[in-house]
Amino acid sequence: MSGHVSPIRPPLVTGNKTYHQITEDLISPTERVPSKAWILGLILSVSVFSFGAFCILWTIWNGIGTWDLNRTINWGWDITNFVWWIGIGHAGTLISAILLIFRQKWRTGVNRAAEAMTIFAVMCAGLFPLIHMGRIWLAMFIFPYPNTRGPLWVNFNSPLLWDVFAISTYFTVSLLFWYTGLVPDFASVRDRAKGLRKKIYNFLSFGWTGSAKHWQRWEYLSLILAGIATPLVLSVHTIVSFDFATSVIPGWHTTIFPPYFVAGAIFSGFAMVLTLMIITRKILGLEDYITIEHVESMNKVILVTGTIVGVAYLTELFIAWYSGYVYEQFAFFNRAAGPYWWSYFGMMFCNVLSPQLFWKKSWRRNIWLTFFMSIFINIGMWFERFVIIATTLARDYLPSSWSYYSPTWVEIGIFVGTMGLFFTLYLIFCRVAPVVAVAEIKAILKTSGNQYVGPDAQHQHPKDVKVESEPNHTSI
Amino acid sequence: MNQYTFSGTAKTVTIGAMIVGVVSMLLTWFVGADDLQSRFWSNFLHNSTFFLGISMMAFFFIAVCITAYAGWASVFKRVWEAMSANMLVGFIFMLVIALTTYFHWNHLYHWADAAAVAEDPILNGKKSFLNPNWYLFGTIIIVGTWVVFGRKMRSLSLDEDEDQGHDFAKHRSMRIWSAVFLPIMGFSSAAMIWQWLMSVDAHWYSTLYAWHAAVSWFVAMICLTILLLIYLKSKGLYKEVTNEHMHDLGKFLFAFSIFWTYMWFSQFMLIWYANIGEETTYFLLRREEYPILFYANLAVNFLIPFFVLMRNDTKRKLGSLAFVSLLVFIGHWLDFFLMIKPGVKITRDDHGHMAAHGEEVVHGAAEHGIHESVASSFEVGYTIPGLLELGTMIGFLGLFFFVTLTALSKAPLIAKNDPYLDESLHHHT
């Protein structure tokens, strides 16, 4: 098994780890008393989240009028934030499902945290449409069921309703996928624990014993979930893009939106994974599991998706000109030269130009630059959604209704509050579950551990096994 | 055996196919009902773009695999290298189209008619992109770049065979060429597809069009790869290419057939939903006047690969793989037919109309699918592929295989110094 790894593949687990050391390294953070940094982080996150919760209550109590939306710009920060968070929620399932199918071994270092991040990001995203309803107590109206309200049915023709289905399906499958992966790891935590803690983790691991039958069923379930999750990676942001693209608004109605939104979502998702993982690996000392190779691979994904997004931006721009349709042409002129020109340039600069730095290998492997860039891309992708939403709406067909929009403190507070929620959940996750998938790291150790492959390998295997089934290759 | 010799039946069959193609093209020319020879030229455009795209995708996939550290396919990467040798052939054919457009010897493109452009404000607005000069020079520059990259990669790969040490310097160099090619391909393929294909319907536009056509090329490339490998295996070659490799190719065919459908659906659904006349005309015309092709396109390119290849075992059996690959290959050829022919037909009819009545006709009306004089007319070669179209395709396919097999016979079948070869020989899914 371990004999057939290309000599140019770098190791993905460093530090000559044994199976026991892997368990120690990855599970012990859940057993220690939290560090000061963690407590400080939690206090900060919870405070920010509390302020966000206050702003949400303020909105619900006083109404949507506390936001600065108006007749012309009726979607603003709310939907921008919604799309932004949903986009961030894409990396986890991409890593766990699509990279699994493509047998990318480096996924094992980051999949657990990325999936957790996905779930938290989708939770943050889901808040916005709910608050945006104005009368949140009527939220159950989005569920199609026989009722006594007329009967008042949902509009099945509306992409907003498709969103409800797409996102709830995505959330459910992501959660199941994440939890399935956690079951054997929870069992490992349980095996090291005592007392109440042991009981809790035993419950969480469904009484996992590690028998062959358990593993077999676990593998089967993972495969089925990966199969279901793969189309979901594409469908969620496709349907979010339909919210815009099914309209007849110039700048929104364009057929490239579905794949372009998906590429952008993966782009921003990876940026957020990097932001979190660079901090996490430092604080928890996981540099042997989330190595520079992992960082470099993710930076490559960022470079690729950033460039795909760049192709899409330029396609839109070009086709707007090519269409010969004056409203389409104006929509793009307005983006680049209208009142929100700064957000268009912010978007282009952060999303298309700056990732090009990652063509240079040493920069892809630079932790500080990567961290800085990941923040940059998160900002850029927020700008992208703002450009699509607010900029387009600000200049509609009727110049007398043209308008300008800037958020109130309530809108800013809610956005910042969702970040508080996100980090609160992530910090709790770091304490209760292994941040790196223990069982999966063990599964790749013999093909990717630095003592088995790469320049420092101690267990060398004969290299010259070329074309071994060739009977008479001396005659060539 | 690590060496393929191109002789005997293979040579006879490919040359025979080429003769069929030449005869079909000659017949098309001489039985051509109109003096513009639009049927001949559109068949030429259809097959040239289709096979050029397939060979470019073969090269693109080599570049993707190298960039992504994908090792599973390196045992048969020479097949893709050989397929990409066809880029040069496609380049020459596209040059023929570009030159005949430049000299107005064909009438494939409405925008190539200066008089019509002057009359038409929309075409006038597109003049700086849709014009014979840029068509010619864009094609030369862009396809020329693809050819240069393809040849460079091939020569690096052949040099790698001669390497003695294990420093993989050639491979590192290939990685740089591959990585540089990816963004070039991303931008330039879209520009070419707009120019060659989308501009057949000169008024119509869709931002997703280029990606949809590119995925069509990609799927057709996977089909031909599977068929070619099955053929070579039947000759006792490539014993190292096991069911595991075929299984993975089958997965690519399965996954990218779904992806193609995703592209098709995204484009169709958004245009259908928004219901803007300038856009719906494209699909309305195809759905109303080309119903068989319109639905067959989806059935062959989505339903068949989806349901047949969903199972594990059908991706591992050569029979079912060959069956699906052949059908899907023809399916994507039909997809291209459906992209090109309706627009060409309208352009030709308009031209005929003008000539007959000696007056200018507003072209836009025809593109909106309401051209009274031609509505619901059935015409072999335009509304459905006839024997001549089939013959032309067989000729191009024969040439494609002729060039591929010739290139394949020039080098050992297995690139013995590829750094991933050991992984690929022991690949299991």
CA distances in angstroms from A12 to A25, A109, A300, listed in the order given: 15, 8, 16
Is A259 close to B423, i.e. CB distance below 8 A? Answer: no
CA distance A346 to A376: 10
Q: By C-alpha distance, which of A438, A122, A131 is closest to A272?
A: A122
CA distance B144 to B164: 33
Q: What's the pLDDT band for A144 if we cut at 50, 70, 90? A: confident
Distance from CA of A382 to the nearest CA of B (A): 23
Q: What is the mean pLDDT of residues B404-423?
A: 91
Q: Which one is predicted more confidently, A10 or A461?
A: A10
CA distance A415 to A426: 17
Q: What is the mean pLDDT of residues A281-309?
A: 91
Contacts for A475 with CB less than 8 Å, ≥ 6 apart = none
Joined tokens for residue A99: 């990279």
Is B209 close to A308, i.e. CB distance below 8 A? Answer: no
Distance from CA of A258 to the nearest CA of B (A): 7
Q: What is the mean pLDDT of residues A81-95?
A: 89
Which chain B residues have a beta carbon less than 8 Å from that of A101?
251
Distance from CA of B18 to the nearest CA of A (A): 32
Most B CBs within 10 A among A103, A220, A242, A255, hence the mutation to make, goes to: A255
Joined tokens for residue B420: 């991933």
Whether residue A355 has a cis bond before it, omega within 30° of 0: no
- The predicted pLDDT at position B355 comes to 57
Is B166 close to A463, i.e. CB distance below 8 A? Answer: yes
Torsion of Cα atoms, A300 then A303 then A307 then A310, to 10°: 150
B186 pLDDT exceeds 80?
yes
Which chain B residues have a beta carbon less than 8 Å from that of A166?
none
- The predicted pLDDT at position B358 comes to 47
Strand partners, A13: A449
B207 pLDDT exceeds 60?
yes
CA distance B135 to B200: 12
Strand partners, B384: B380
User: Is residue A101 within 8 Å of A230, Cβ to Cβ?
Assistant: yes
Helix axes B318-357, B277-289, angle to 10 degrees: 110
- The predicted pLDDT at position B357 comes to 52
Long-range contacts at B312-319 (CB < 8 A, ≥ 24 apart): B314/B250, B315/B246, B315/B247, B315/B250, B315/B251, B315/B254, B316/B243, B316/B246, B316/B247, B316/B250, B318/B230, B318/B233, B318/B246
B390 pLDDT exceeds 90?
yes
User: Is residue B301 within 8 Å of B339, Cβ to Cβ?
Assistant: no
3-state secondary structure (DSSP) of residue A232: helix
Which chain B residues have a beta carbon less than 8 Å from that of A326?
none
H/E stretch holding B389: helix B387-409
A468 pLDDT exceeds 50?
no
Q: What's the pLDDT band for A91 if we cut at 50, 70, 90? A: confident
For A311, nearest residue in chain B (alpha carbons): B187
In total, the C-beta contacts within 8 angstroms joining chain A to chain B are 124
Helix axes A107-132, A36-62, angle to 10 degrees: 20
Joined tokens for residue A19: 């199976």
CA distance A351 to A362: 20
CA distance A164 to A146: 18
Question: pLDDT tens digits for A20-62?
Answer: 999 988 998 888 888 898 999 999 999 999 999 999 999 999 9
- The predicted pLDDT at position B349 comes to 84
Q: What is the mean pLDDT of residues B138-158?
A: 95
Q: By C-alpha distance, which of B326, B394, B396, B411 is closest to B81?
A: B411
**Distance in angstroms between the alpha carbons of the first and the last residue of chain A:** 30
Sign of the CA dihedral with A62 first, then A68, A69, and A70 last: positive
- The predicted pLDDT at position B354 comes to 60
ipTM metric: 0.90
Sign of the CA dihedral with B72 first, then B74, B77, and B78 last: negative
DSSP A248: -
Distance from CA of B361 to the nearest CA of A (A): 20
What residue ranges do the domains of chain B occupy?
Answer: 8-418
Q: What is the mean pLDDT of residues A344-372?
A: 92
Joined tokens for residue A253: 């109605």
One-character DSSP codes across B290-306 = -HHHHHHHHIIIIIHHH
- The predicted pLDDT at position B33 comes to 65
Question: pLDDT tens digits for B88-124?
Answer: 999 999 999 999 999 988 889 999 988 888 889 999 9
Q: What's the pLDDT band for A449 if we cut at 50, 70, 90? A: confident
Question: pLDDT tens digits for B329-388?
Answer: 999 999 999 999 999 999 888 876 665 554 444 444 444 444 444 445 778 888 889 999
Residue with structure tokens 């996102």? A167
Give the count of alpha carbons within 13 A of B256, CB side only: 25
How much is the CA Rg of chain B, to the nearest whole Å? 22
DSSP A136: G
* Amino acid identity at A337: A
Q: What's the pLDDT band for A457 if we cut at 50, 70, 90? A: confident
Joined tokens for residue B393: 């395709």
Residues above pLDDT 90, as percent of chain B: 71
For B182, nearest residue in chain A (alpha carbons): A304
Joined tokens for residue A130: 């709910």
Contacts for B240 with CB less than 8 Å, ≥ 6 apart = A467, A469, A470, B75, B414, B425
On average, the pLDDT of chain B sits at: 90
A474 pLDDT exceeds 50?
no
Torsion of Cα atoms, B374 then B379 then B384 then B390, to 10°: -150
Q: Which of A91-100, A134-143, B321-330 has the lowest mean pLDDT?
A: A91-100
Which chain A residues have a beta carbon less than 8 Å from that of B126?
322, 324
Residues above pLDDT 70, as percent of chain A: 96
- The predicted pLDDT at position A466 comes to 41
H/E stretch holding A264: helix A257-283
Is A316 close to B207, i.e. CB distance below 8 A? Answer: yes
Q: What is the mean pLDDT of residues B261-279?
A: 94
- The predicted pLDDT at position B365 comes to 45
Q: What's the pLDDT band for A364 if we cut at 50, 70, 90? A: very high
Is B422 close to A463, i.e. CB distance below 8 A? Answer: yes
- The predicted pLDDT at position A60 comes to 94
- The predicted pLDDT at position A473 comes to 39
Q: What is the mean pLDDT of residues B166-175?
A: 87
Q: What's the pLDDT band for A3 if we cut at 50, 70, 90? A: low
B327 pLDDT exceeds 50?
yes
Question: pLDDT tens digits for A232-272?
Answer: 888 999 999 999 999 999 999 999 999 999 999 999 999 99
B416 pLDDT exceeds 60?
yes
Q: By C-alpha distance, which of B335, B314, B336 is closest to B325?
A: B314
Joined tokens for residue A365: 């492997």
Q: What's the pLDDT band for B8 if we cut at 50, 70, 90? A: confident
- Report the 10 Å Cβ neighbour count for B269: 16
B62 pLDDT exceeds 50?
yes
One-character DSSP codes across A43-75 = HHHHHHHHHHHHHHHHHHHH-GGGS---SS---
Task: Please write down the HEC assignment for all residues of A308-350.
Answer: HHHHHHHHHHHHHHHHCCHHHHHHHHHHHHCCCHHHHHHHHHH
- The predicted pLDDT at position B158 comes to 92
A421 pLDDT exceeds 50?
yes
Nearest Cβ partner for A248 among B121, B276, B420: B276
Nearest Cβ partner for B240 among A8, A304, A469: A469
User: Is residue B241 within 8 Å of B292, Cβ to Cβ?
Assistant: no
Question: pLDDT tens digits for A378-398?
Answer: 999 999 999 999 999 999 888
Is B270 close to A257, i.e. CB distance below 8 A? Answer: yes
Is B270 close to A314, i.e. CB distance below 8 A? Answer: no
CA distance B210 to B332: 14
Q: Which of A81-85, A190-194, A233-237, B370-374 has the lowest mean pLDDT?
A: B370-374
Which chain B residues have a beta carbon less than 8 Å from that of A324?
121-123, 125-126, 203
A329 pLDDT exceeds 70?
yes
Q: What's the pLDDT band for B246 if we cut at 50, 70, 90? A: very high
- The predicted pLDDT at position B272 comes to 95
Contacts for A319 with CB less than 8 Å, ≥ 6 apart = A254, B205, B206, B207
- Report the 10 Å Cβ neighbour count for A238: 25
Which chain A residues have a beta carbon less than 8 Å from that of B271?
255
Q: Burial letters for B122-145: b for 16+ Cβ neighbours within 10 Å, e otherwise?
A: bbebbeebbbbebbbebbeebbee
Biggest CA pair distance of chain A: 86
Nearest Cβ partner for B187 among A4, A311, A322: A311
CA distance A383 to A328: 20
Q: Which one is predicted more confidently, A146 or B377?
A: A146
Q: By C-alpha distance, which of B265, B425, B113 is closest to A255?
A: B265
**Distance in angstroms between the alpha carbons of the first and the last residue of chain B:** 25
Question: pLDDT tens digits for A166-179?
Answer: 999 999 999 999 99
Distance from CA of B89 to the nearest CA of A (A): 28
